[in-house]
């Protein structure tokens, strides 16, 4: 398992956070399997089961039926939050799908890379079906409303952060990691998932917002001299700090802060670009998505577009009314 995790971090280039999630997924899975295979008493608390004795024999013994039983356990009996048992039971389909992907990747590694298995016992495993929900986003008017409401302390910084979210669609992890050296005129270097670099072009609004913020930033020292965005204490701003700031700004703008977040601003940027003519493949590059199907969740259409589609039907203007009365009989075919 350690070799599998090292492979994903060093060869596949996945972030430490992603690799940590892989480990947690596999640990929970093999804890469950140890119970199912009678390696430990069924009464043993799941969170206390050690996986240090998991061997190749146990790994080989896993069947497709075991995986389906595990998925049933996740959907019915697994606590939603191990730190808060009162949160309820049953993981969402998206969480279960991620765990399936981890297990499938682990067994694929054992077959194709480590050569410890001849075939994967779960190669026919299907991922849980997920409900496709449309991303929540701000309208153009709401976006302008949010920007125009920014004032007071840290106004230049917060305006710049929200402007980058709304215009560039960056992730919050990418934003807090930005350095001064990442800004080069109309270009911004972004370090995305898996340490993959991409260049995002800055429009006039972004350049002006950055220029205004840098003028303020230059007048205050910084504990981290490289960080683009800093706090009042002159330290690099954190994700938690951005989340807190956004909640304050949403509320001040008269928007429901429980419905919107940094990621919803990313949704907003993607939606506004698509609505104004950006094709989905270009958007894929802007957002830094590895797979096109990830970007395609943004190809939803709003209610105005649906209404226009209905009105565009050539039959939409037909005013003929149905005739009342009994229908005429078709003429008999004599002969």
Which of helix, strand or coil describes residue 89? strand
Catalytic residue among 8, 78, 266, 267: 266
Catalytic residue among 113, 243, 263, 281: 263
Cα dihedral across residues 66, 68, 72, 73: positive or negative: positive
Residue 263 is a catalytic residue = yes
In 153-236 the beta strands, taken as DSSP E runs, fall at 183-184, 187-191, 197-201
Find out whether 222 and 237 touch, Cβ atoms under 8 Å: no
Nearest to 206 by CA among 186, 191, 190: 186
CA distance 197 to 192: 6
Taking CA 245 as the corner, what is the angle to CA 268 and CA 257, rounded to the nearest 5 degrees? 55
Nearest to 227 by CA among 239, 235, 216: 235
Catalytic residue among 8, 14, 99, 171: 171
CA distance 238 to 27: 29
Which of helix, strand or coil describes residue 38? coil
Which residues on neighbouring strands pair with residue 294, listed in sequence order? none
Residue 260 is a catalytic residue = no
Nearest to 297 by CA among 165, 181, 132: 132
Residue 289 is a catalytic residue = yes
CA distance 320 to 41: 75
CA distance 92 to 81: 12
Find out whether 297 and 133 touch, Cβ atoms under 8 Å: no
Catalytic residue among 32, 107, 137, 298: 298
Catalytic residue among 80, 108, 189, 193: 193
Residue 298 is a catalytic residue = yes
Cα diameter, the chain:
103
Annotated catalytic residues are 171, 193, 263, 266, 289, 298
């Amino acid at each position: 398992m350690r070799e599998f995790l090292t492979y994903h971090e060093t060869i596949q280039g996945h972030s430490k956070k992603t690799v940590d999630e892989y480990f947690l997924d596999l640990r929970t899975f093999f804890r469950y399997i140890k119970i199912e295979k009678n390696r430990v008493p069924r009464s043993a608390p799941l969170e206390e089961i050690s996986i240090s004795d998991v061997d190749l024999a146990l790994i080989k013994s896993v069947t497709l039926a075991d995986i389906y039983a595990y998925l049933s356990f996740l959907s019915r009996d697994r606590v939603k939050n191990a730190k808060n048992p009162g949160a309820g039971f049953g993981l969402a389909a998206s969480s279960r799908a991620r765990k399936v992907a981890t297990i499938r990747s682990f067994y694929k590694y054992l077959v194709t890379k480590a050569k410890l298995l001849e075939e994967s016992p779960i190669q026919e495993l299907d991922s849980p079906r997920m409900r496709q929900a449309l991303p929540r986003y701000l309208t153009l008017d709401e976006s302008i409303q949010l920007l125009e409401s920014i004032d007071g302390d840290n106004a230049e910084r917060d305006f710049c952060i929200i402007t980058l979210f709304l215009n560039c669609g960056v992730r919050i992890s990418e934003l807090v990691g930005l350095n001064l050296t990442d800004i080069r005129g109309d270009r911004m270097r972004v370090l995305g998932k898996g340490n993959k670099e991409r260049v995002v072009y800055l429009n006039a609004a972004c350049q002006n917002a950055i220029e205004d913020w840098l003028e303020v930033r230059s007048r205050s020292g910084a504990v981290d001299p490289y960080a683009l965005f800093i706090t009042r204490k002159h330290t690099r701003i954190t994700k938690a700090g951005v989340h807190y700031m956004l909640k304050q700004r949403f509320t001040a703008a008269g928007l429901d802060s429980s419905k919107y977040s940094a990621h919803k601003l990313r949704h907003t940027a993607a939606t506004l670009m698509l609505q104004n003519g950006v094709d989905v493949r270009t958007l894929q590059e802007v957002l830094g998505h590895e797979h096109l199907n990830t970007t395609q969740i943004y190809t939803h259409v709003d209610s105005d577009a649906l209404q226009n589609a209905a009105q565009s039907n050539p039959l939409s203007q037909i005013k003929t009314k149905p005739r009342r009365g009994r229908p005429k009989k078709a003429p008999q075919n004599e002969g």
